[in-house]
Structure 1
Amino acid sequence: MNPVQIQRPFAHAMRGPLAAIGIVALLLQMSAAALAQALSTTPQVMPVVAAASTPFVAPVGAVMAVPAPGVRDERSFMHGIGNADAGDGKTWVFFSSSGMPPRGANRDGSWPHDVYVGQWQAGDAHLSNVRAFIKRPEAQEPVSVAQNTKGTLFITFEDGWNAPRNVSQRYGVYRQDLTPIRPYPKDVESGGHSGHVAAVDDQFVVFYSADWVQGGGVDNLGTGGGVYANVYDGGGRFLRHINVAAHVREWWPVVAGSPTQALLVWQKYIPGSTIASLQYALLDPHTGKLTRPQESIDRYRVQYYVYAAAYVPTVDRFVVLATLDTGRAVAFLVDGQGRRTAELDCLPALVRESSMAVEGNTVFVPTQDGRLMTLGLEGDHIALRGTQRAPFAWGNTGVTGIASGAMVHFVSLSPDGLLEADFSTQKQVAAGPADRCMVQTAK
């Protein structure tokens, strides 16, 4: 799709030079302290990959890695990533990329992304056997994947190939060994975009946006025109459609699934503002019932696209993190009735379009200042356990984490390709006053 011909959603489809944000957007999102550090005269840390036998542990005070200046829109290289259980201790990692290595946009500004898959297992420094899984002209991105209780995979993404309305939210359903059940291309909705998927027991919930409204949003490029959910059975057959917020300026849907419900999170346009209002609701996919407690509406003012959600079985809560207009992040827990049961604010800002890794009652979150943040969760409490330095700059177009006992393996998309590193689940550096906005009193 050529952006000169049609203006696509900024969330991931405003392709080519019209959406060039690169290093400028990253620096604008950083705190003043982090920015000063990044622009200091200390040499930058170049991207590296941890060895399988010696997981990377950065020293305290290590210099933050920052992307090279002059990079075009990062999404034109790689955009969208997720993982699923492959069986036998292995993990599938799916991602959308403009080739391997990624080459970025075509000369006409269109994006040539395909969906790739690779495999990882504990001890590996890199994904293995990386190959194209779904390959068509135009772009299939950003990919999102979910796996139900039977091991079935549901893969969805915005697709520019052979789309009557310029794009279509499409999907395919596959067995755990990637053999097809209901293979691509199947349509969620013609004209749909920005979709994410989660599993709820045996079913799948695709949460997506549709339409586009010009003006406002990031760089005045516009906003989505509503958010919707489709529910599918374990074989990928359509069951029901839910108008979550229809024909309004609300978009960039994110979804997480528990055994009985899906948590839907999205952003709402605020006229005349450069920030958004964070919204959330619970969906019962078996009935289509939406639960939106009053406290879930217009609660937080957030940076566009910088939020994430996950379900934590150990505490039976959904956890949501978002970077606020203050440049700091908030974390909160949501129970089965949609109530917030715990909240912790003034945290380091999380990375745009990154996901969390969950291990027991602990979540691991990439932060904009080049670290990995560890949060401990209880049903009514959130604690910042500490942070670790990353060996590279996190990309802003997709990060996924795979918890594996004492280690958690993270894969980040970047204009240079996949960046990977192992982190210890126990070797965090204790949080300092600046990590919680605390002011030390004079002794």
Structure 2
Amino acid sequence: MPVVLVALLGASPPPSRGAAQNALNASRAPAGAVVAVPAPGLGDERRFMHGIGYATADGDRNWVFFSSSGLPPRGANKDGSWPHDVYVGEWSPASPHVSHPHIFISRPEAQEPVSVAQSTSGNIFVSFEDGWNTPNTVSQRYGVYRADLRPIKPYPNDVESGGHSGHVAAVGDRFVVFYSEDWVDGGGVDNLGTGKGVYTKVYGDRGQLLSHEDVAPHVREWWPMIAGSPTRALLVWQKYIPGETIAELKCAVLDPVSGKIVRPESGVDDAKVEYYTYAAAWVPAVGRFVIEATLATGRTKVWLVDEDGRATAQLDCLPASVREAGIGVNGNVAYVPTRDGRLMALALTENTIELRGTQRAPFAWGNTGAVGMPRGPDSIHFVSLSPTGLREADFNVGNEVAPSASDRCASDATQ
């Protein structure tokens, strides 16, 4: 990915063009030394790579799934269509980078953005929007595989013909797919339009459909994100506001066994946010969901939410986060990529959120997906998608710097 580097003390290493490039250590770019931002004129980065997730293979080895238009990604075809396939590679804490990336699912048209989840038995659910062989332009599809990737109910299976933008989470031995359906032209980012409702489908451990719920049907609400706890699925999505260039954040909790959907007074609902710039994750160490969203103010807000959907803590006025970047979780710490080229570490308890520190990333975060995988108690490995391939770095707690006053808006409060 071309980057603009504003160098104060030095320059960062040039980006590799291969998907399996060596990982960069974040300590090479100390805070204040380099600011990396995407170069202008790239257009829609999704045409190169879009969607990334991971699941456990065995021991400490992980499968990393991502959608890409080749390796290195070549972008759209001459006719403007996207040729993305689903790739899978391997990563373990002993590895500096994702190794052996290869095509896992390939058909004409695009299979993106990929989303993956893993049940308590180890089975892996792989889902994505698919442009191949569908009467409705796209379909949300899926396949189910064992932890060694042997098929149980292999692709292609329809979640919903005409469905799109789906993401999946595991809730115990069930999978929940949260997806949008249909499209309304106009409005949204670059006036491209919006989805027309969000829905869930619950599947058993081997991919059998168990139930279907309408969450917000036939309305201009879309980009559904999901996180799974042992008993609940947290649903987060955006609502179109006519005439505005921002969206309204929506939130609900689903019990996949009973099908009950609860929309509690979480403090999350109705926040005004930048399009597509929010994420959610489950933090087992504190028994809470964590949600982050960049508000219309350009600052990020973070909530902790329990399994009943009640907000137990919140922290606002944080640095702006990165569109479509996932939240990395390691113990009681949540890691969020920031738009100014850093990674912020949030220390969590059941009822508190603290901005513990930040550290500089040695590359520009891509806007089409990033995932963090624990590398030990004090380290996390992030993989970011970009127009030139995978970008990777290890982030160690020893390299964190204390947050500045501006990271918490303190300088604004004194003016």
**Corresponding residue for residue 362 of structure 2:** 391
Please report the TM-score for the alignment, with normalisation by the length of structure 2: 0.94
1:261 and 1:91 map into 2 onto residues whose CA distance is 24
Report 1:161-180 matches (<5 A): 161-180=132-151
**Structure 1 pair 65–290 and aligned structure 2 pair: CA distance change class (3 A):** same
Aligned to 2:329: 358
* Bigger Cα displacement from structure 2, 238-247 vs 285-294: 285-294
- The answer to whether structure 1 residue 72 and structure 2 residue 43 are counterparts is yes
- Quickly say closer, same or farther: Cα 1:66–1:377, change in 2 above 3 A: same
Matched residue, 1:337: 308
How far residue 63 of structure 1 moved from its aligned partner, in angstroms, is 1.7
Matches of 1:39 and 1:65 in 2, distance apart?
7
For the pair 1:156 / 2:127, whether they are aligned, the reply is yes
C-alpha displacement of 1:161:
0.4
Q: CA deviation at 1:294?
A: 3.6
Letter in 1 for 2:385: L
- Would you identify which runs of 4 or more consecutive aligned residues in structure 1 move more than 3 Å? 37-57, 294-298
In the alignment, structure 1 residue 281 sits paired with structure 2 residue 252: yes
Residue identity in the other structure for 2:164:
H
Checking the alignment, whether the CA contact within 8 Å between 1:53 and 1:123 is kept in structure 2 is: no
Q: How far off is 1:439 after superposition?
A: 2.3
The equivalent position to 1:415 in structure 2, one of 387, 403, 408, is: 387
Match of 1:193 among 123, 147, 164: 164
CA distance in 1, matches of 2:401, 2:329: 19
Q: What's 1:438 paired with?
A: 410
Residues 3-152 of structure 1 aligned to structure 2 (within 5 Å): 45-48=12-15, 56-152=27-123
> 1:425 deviation in Å?
3.1
Tell me if 1:402 matches 2:344: no
Structure 1's unaligned 5+ residue stretches are: 1-21, 27-36
- Cα distance change on mapping 1:53 and 1:215 into 2, 3 Å: closer
Counterpart contact for 1:47–1:393, Cα < 8 Å: no
2:239 alignment partner AA: K
Distance of 2:43 and 2:25 partners within structure 1: 33
Q: Is the 8 A contact 2:127 2:142 kept in 1?
A: yes
- Tell me the equivalent position of 1:181: 152
Distance 1:296 1:338 in 2: 10
AA paired with 1:327? G
Separation of aligned partners in 2, 1:269 and 1:438: 32
**Residue type at the aligned position of 2:145:** Y
How much has 1:53 moved relative to structure 2? Answer: 10
Once the two structures are superposed, the pairs formed by residues 373-392 of structure 1 within 5 Å of their partners are 373-392=344-363
Deviation at 1:189, TM superposition (A): 0.2
> SS in structure 2 opposite 1:64?
strand
Offset of 1:178 from its aligned partner?
A: 0.2
Partners of 2:118 and 2:169 within 8 A in 1: yes
Q: What is the Cα deviation at residue 52 of structure 1?
A: 6.6
Give the Cα separation in 1 of the matches to 2:179 and 2:52. 16
Is structure 2 residue 219 aligned with structure 1 residue 218?
no
Question: Structure 1 residue 434: deviation in Å?
Answer: 0.6
Tell me, in whole angstroms, the C-alpha distance in 2 between the residues paired with 1:162 and 1:42.
Answer: 53
Distance of aligned partners of 1:154 and 1:123 in 2 relative to their CA distance in 1, 3 Å threshold:
same
2:170 counterpart letter in structure 1: A
2:221 aligned residue: 250
From 365, 372, 378, the equivalent of 2:343 is 372
- The CA deviation string for residues 343-393 of structure 1, in whole angstroms up to 9 with x for no partner, is 000001111001011111101111100001000001111000010000000
Cα pair distance change 1:233/1:58, threshold 3 Å: same
**How far did residue 98 of structure 1 move?**
0.2
Shift of 1:426: 3.9
Q: How many residues align?
A: 409
How has the CA–CA distance of structure 1 residues 139 and 183 changed in structure 2, closer, same or farther, with 3 Å as cutoff?
same
* Cα RMSD, aligned residues only: 2.2
Unaligned runs of 5+ in 2: none
Q: Among the aligned pairs, what percent are the same residue?
A: 63
CA distance in 2, matches of 1:182, 1:40: 51
- In the aligned structure 1, how far is the partner of 2:205 from the partner of 2:257? 12
* 2:241 pairs with one of 270, 278, 286: 270
| Residue identity in the other structure for 1:170 | R
Q: Alignment partner of 1:255: what SS?
A: strand
After superposition, the Cα gap between the structure-2 partners of 1:233 and 1:440, relative to the gap in structure 1 and judged at 3 Å, is closer
- Measured after TM superposition, the shift of residue 214 of structure 1 is 1.4
Q: Deviations over 1:390-427 (max 9, x none)?
A: 00000000101101213211111000111111110343
Comparing 213-222 with 63-72, greater Cα deviation is found at 63-72
Is 1:428 aligned to residue 400 of structure 2?
A: yes
CA contact (8 A) 1:47 1:391 kept: no
Task: Provide the C-alpha distance between the structure 2 equivalents of 1:425 and 1:109, rounded to a whole number of angstroms.
Answer: 43
What is the Cα deviation at residue 65 of structure 1? 1.2
1:144–1:195 Cα contact (<8 Å) kept: yes
SS at match of 1:172: strand
Q: Secondary structure at the match of 2:79?
A: coil
d(CA) in 1 for partners of 2:341, 2:178: 30
CA distance in 2, matches of 1:413, 1:359: 21
